[in-house]
Amino acid sequence: MKNKFEFMNKDKKTPTSDPQTKGLSLLHIAGWLGVAIATPFFLWVPLGLTSLVPSMIDVFGIVGLRTPAAITIAGLLLASVGFHRI
């Protein structure tokens, strides 16, 4: 007797991308937009720790760190939606 899960999924393959859609789709553009939104804040943290630029705490304050964190998370969520099939 075969394992039911193995038998059902043996011939079924999920494509990673749509072969008919060549080039940039709207979701793909949204993914790159999300990466572009999150990248400056990723770069700001190590540069601020090395004193090359003012740190986020100097600019936003302790309580205000929620703002760049929210923008970064929004960019990452947008990127995850845009790149979920790639």
Mean pLDDT by 10 residues, the chain (86 residues): 56 55 80 96 92 92 94 96 85
Q: What is the pLDDT of residue 41?
A: 92
Q: Domain containing 65: what range?
A: 24-82
Q: Is residue 40 assigned to a domain?
A: yes
Q: Is residue 19 assigned to a domain?
A: no
Q: What is the pLDDT of residue 85?
A: 81
Q: Is residue 74 assigned to a domain?
A: yes
- Number of domains the chain is built from: 1
Q: What is the pLDDT of residue 2?
A: 59
Q: Is residue 9 assigned to a domain?
A: no
* Cβ atoms within 10 Å of 60's Cβ, excluding its own: 15
- Pick the closest to residue 76 from 30, 33, 32, 34 (CA basis): 34
Q: Is residue 48 assigned to a domain?
A: yes
Q: Is residue 32 assigned to a domain?
A: yes
